[in-house]
Amino acid sequence: MALTPKQVNELHDKMLHKRLYVIFSEPTEKTGDRRKVFPKHIAYQLEIERKGILFAAGPFVNSKGKPQGPGMIVIRAKSMAEAKRVAEADPFHKLGFRKFRIQAWEINEGGFNINVKFSTGTYTIE
């Protein structure tokens, strides 16, 4: 379906326009046992999740599901400066095992589905 420029503008104006921040977290060359820091990293992720800051997070993976390359942490923040403070507080970043880059991201299109079965107390997220 071809849209006119006016239709595109009208549709775009109605979109979500929700600003989030994406933290790309990449390993550094620092030596040491990263596994000792991992529990602190997870505790921090769970803390910012409880506070409503964390939108989504996880590693990029290869075809076998093994983490590969950077991790991606998507957060809610009022500004780039606030997003930077959140990223800097991550134990992996604080201790120099990972470095980060932040990119502002605007959600406009897409969605997700939640299917809740009351009788079984189960749910699926698609």
CA-to-CA dists, residue 77 to 81, 85, 91, 101, 108, angstroms: 9, 10, 19, 15, 17
pLDDT digits (tens, 9 = 90+) for 37-67: 999 999 999 999 999 999 999 999 999 999 9
Do the domain assignments include residue 74?
Answer: yes
Reading the block at residue 36, the tokens are 């000792």
Work out the pLDDT band at 1, boundaries 50, 70, 90: confident
- pLDDT band, residue 74 (cuts 50/70/90): very high
- Asked whether residue 40 is domain-assigned, the answer is yes
Q: What angle do CA 57, 91, 63 make, to 5 degrees?
A: 40
Look at residue 115 and tell me if it is in a domain: yes
Share of the chain above pLDDT 70, in %: 100
* Domain contains 6: no
Residue-wise pLDDT tens digits, 77-95: 999 999 999 999 999 999 9
What's the pTM value of the predicted model, to 2 decimals?
0.88
Buried b (16+ CB within 10 A) or exposed e, 35-62: eebeeebeebbeebeeeebbbebeeeee
Q: Is residue 4 part of a domain?
A: no
pLDDT value at residue 65: 95
Residue 6: CA count within 13 A, CB half-sphere: 0
Q: Which two tokens stand for residue 81?
A: 């400066």
Closest C-alpha among 94, 18, 28, 29 to residue 56: 18
Handedness of CA 80, 109, 67, 115 (dihedral sign): positive
Query: Is the model's pLDDT at 126 over the cut of 80?
Result: yes
Residue 3 included in any domain: no
* Number of independent structural domains in the chain: 1
100 three-state secondary structure: strand
Q: Domain containing 74: what range?
A: 17-125
Q: Is 11 domain-assigned?
A: no
